């Protein structure tokens, strides 16, 4: 076992990252006591109840991946990108990472077994960690975008902790799908406004080349800067409604194998859809849930992206504001949290190389933490799907 950090509070809680032993599969704090005695006795560690202690995503081990624990390998890392200075309406997504972590407290309460997907990502043998947040300046967008790129790329280009292993169907050895032939870990980014996806896609491109994108959002986010009142500067031209336009211009996105889901925004005109076609996206409108249902939507998405590597970007505003009010640009008429979770489980088997959830602005949430819980639960489905499908292919 490897001791990663000792967090000193009134009592001492010890977070352990096990390597190569049974504890590795149980990512819970050391000396966790399920049914504590009401009185603390010397030598006994108090129950690390879900409402106490330092908050990481799903109470995963905190690893300082970007600084003093660079050498700790992982398979899936959560990392925050607390950036919100390119948002058009409600600011506040810089508090998204902290909010989503708070909303994720209960994910491992009973162990974390995902019934419909028949997997427990926390006990799948993968090493899953919370790397904390990328340092992001709130004073200089250009610099912040570079910081997010550098932070993401640094993590992505490491080698995964677990070997790829063999294909469960054919029994043949799997080989990596990355450009450099290495088995890279997966990064799940906690936003942040949606602008963070441009530097992330630049990072993804460096490891996988042009990528197919599955994007859940009520908005297209492929708009040209002119739609946002023109672009008085290069910096203004990059915001949370234009980053996919720039990603497409830079050749980061596969043309024709990318798709939006939950679209329901008003447009400047139908030419916005022509512009979106040019950026390489297909579309699923939010209202299609009433006609083709979740199964039809899943089929459309799978038919579009195929078997290749996929990047998954989830704007929390894809969910209806009844379920997720705390977001930068809410739009009524969205999907329920249940519907989005069902659609995400429908991505089982796809090669999702990395993912994000963005636009969670906890200041607008209810006291019941509706939005941050929804964000965390949505990521639980993403994590489960990732745990089931290694990023490898059988060589012919």
Ligand X SMILES: *[C@@H]1O[C@H](CO)[C@@H](O)[C@H](O)[C@H]1NC(C)=O
Q: Which residues are annotated as a binding site?
A: 194, 217, 219, 221, 315, 317
Minimum CB separation from ligand X for residue 306, in Å?
16
Residue 85 or 242 with smaller CB distance to ligand X:
242
- Going from the C-alpha of 42 to that of each of 11, 45, 46, 74, the distances in angstroms are 11, 8, 10, 35
Residue 87 or 104 with smaller CB distance to Mn ion:
87
Q: Indicate whether 331 belongs to the interface with Mn ion (CB under 5 A).
A: no
339 binds, among ligand X, Mn ion, none (CB under 5 to 8 A by kind): none
Binding piece for Mn ion, criterion CB under 5 A, among 44-52, 83-91, 184-192, 209-217: 209-217
- Kindly tell me the burial class for residue 157, based on how many C-beta atoms sit within 10 Å of its own C-beta (0-12, 13-18, 19 or more): middle
Name the nearest CA neighbour of 62 among 3, 107, 9: 3
338 binds, among ligand X, Mn ion, none (CB under 5 to 8 A by kind): none
What is the residue whose two structure tokens read 């040019």?
A: 278
Q: How many CB atoms lie within 10 A of CB 376?
A: 24
19 binds, among ligand X, Mn ion, none (CB under 5 to 8 A by kind): none
221 binds, among ligand X, Mn ion, none (CB under 5 to 8 A by kind): Mn ion
Residue 363 or 394 with smaller CB distance to ligand X:
394
CB within 8 Å of 110: residues ≥ 6 apart: none
Residue 101 or 240 with smaller CB distance to Mn ion:
240
194 binds, among ligand X, Mn ion, none (CB under 5 to 8 A by kind): Mn ion
Binding piece for Mn ion, criterion CB under 5 A, among 137-145, 190-198, 223-231, 258-266: 190-198
> What is the rounded CA–CA span in Å between residue 127 and residue 291?
40
Packing angle of the helix pair 197-208, 141-156 (nearest 10 deg): 30
# residues near Mn ion by CB under 5 A: 4
Residue 10 or 270 with smaller CB distance to ligand X:
270
166 binds, among ligand X, Mn ion, none (CB under 5 to 8 A by kind): ligand X
Residue 276 or 348 with smaller CB distance to Mn ion:
276
Minimum CB separation from ligand X for residue 386, in Å?
21
Q: Which tokens in the block code for residue 80?
A: 């925050």
Binding residues for Mn(2+): 194, 217, 219, 221, 315, 317
Q: Indicate whether 215 belongs to the interface with Mn ion (CB under 5 A).
A: no
Binding to Mn ion in span 296-325, by CB under 5 A? 315
What is the binding site for ligand X (CB under 6 A)?
A: 166, 171-173, 248, 255-256, 278, 280
> What is the rounded CA–CA span in Å between residue 88 and residue 79?
24
Name the nearest CA neighbour of 131 among 183, 84, 73: 73
In contact, 129 and 78? CB cutoff 8 Å: yes
Name the nearest CA neighbour of 242 among 250, 150, 325, 151: 250
Packing angle of the helix pair 96-103, 370-388 (nearest 10 deg): 80
Name the nearest CA neighbour of 123 among 110, 134, 105, 142: 110
Minimum CB separation from ligand X for residue 343, in Å?
25
> For binding to Mn ion (CB under 5 A), which residues are involved?
194, 217, 221, 315
């Amino acid at each position: 076992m490897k001791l990663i950090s000792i967090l000193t509070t009134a009592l001492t809680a010890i977070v352990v990252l096990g390597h190569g032993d049974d504890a590795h599969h149980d990512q819970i704090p050391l000396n966790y006591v399920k049914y504590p005695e009401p009185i603390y006795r010397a030598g006994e560690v108090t129950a690390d109840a879900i409402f106490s202690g330092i908050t990481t995503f799903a109470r995963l081990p905190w690893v300082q991946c970007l600084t003093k624990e660079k050498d700790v390998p992982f398979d899936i890392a959560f990392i925050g990108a607390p950036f919100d200075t390119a948002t058009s309406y409600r600011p506040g997504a810089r508090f998204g990472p902290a909010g989503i972590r708070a909303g994720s407290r209960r994910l491992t309460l009973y162990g974390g077994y995902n019934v419909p997907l028949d997997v427990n990502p926390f006990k799948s043998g993968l090493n899953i960690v919370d790397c904390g947040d990328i340092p992001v300046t709130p004073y200089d967008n250009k610099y912040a975008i570079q910081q997010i790129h550098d932070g993401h790329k640094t993590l992505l280009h490491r080698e995964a902790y677990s070997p790829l292993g063999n294909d469960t169907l054919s029994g043949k050895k799997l080989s990596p799908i990355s450009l450099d032939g290495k088995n890279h870990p997966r990064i799940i980014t906690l936003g942040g406004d949606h602008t963070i996806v441009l530097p992330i896609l630049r990072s993804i491109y460096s490891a996988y080349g042009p990528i197919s994108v599955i994007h859940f959002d009520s908005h297209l986010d492929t708009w040209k800067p002119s739609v946002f009142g023109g672009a008085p500067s290069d910096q203004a031209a990059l915001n949370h409604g234009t980053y996919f336009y720039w990603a497409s211009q830079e050749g980061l996105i596969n043309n024709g194998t990318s798709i939006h889901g939950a679209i329901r925004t008003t447009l400047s005109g139908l030419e916005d859809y022509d512009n979106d076609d040019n950026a390489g996206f297909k579309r699923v409108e939010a209202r299609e849930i009433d006609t083709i249902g979740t199964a039809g939507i899943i089929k459309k998405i799978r038919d579009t992206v195929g078997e290749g590597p996929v990047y998954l970007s989830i704007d929390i505003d894809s969910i209806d504001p009844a379920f997720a009010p705390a977001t930068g640009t809410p739009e009524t008429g969205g999907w329920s949290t249940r519907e989005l979770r069902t659609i995400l489980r429908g991505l089982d088997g796809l090669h999702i190389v990395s993912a994000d959830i963005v636009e969670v602005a906890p200041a607008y949430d209810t006291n019941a933490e509706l939005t941050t819980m929804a964000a965390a639960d949505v990521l639980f489905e993403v994590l489960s799907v990732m745990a089931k499908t290694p990023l490898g292919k059988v060589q012919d």
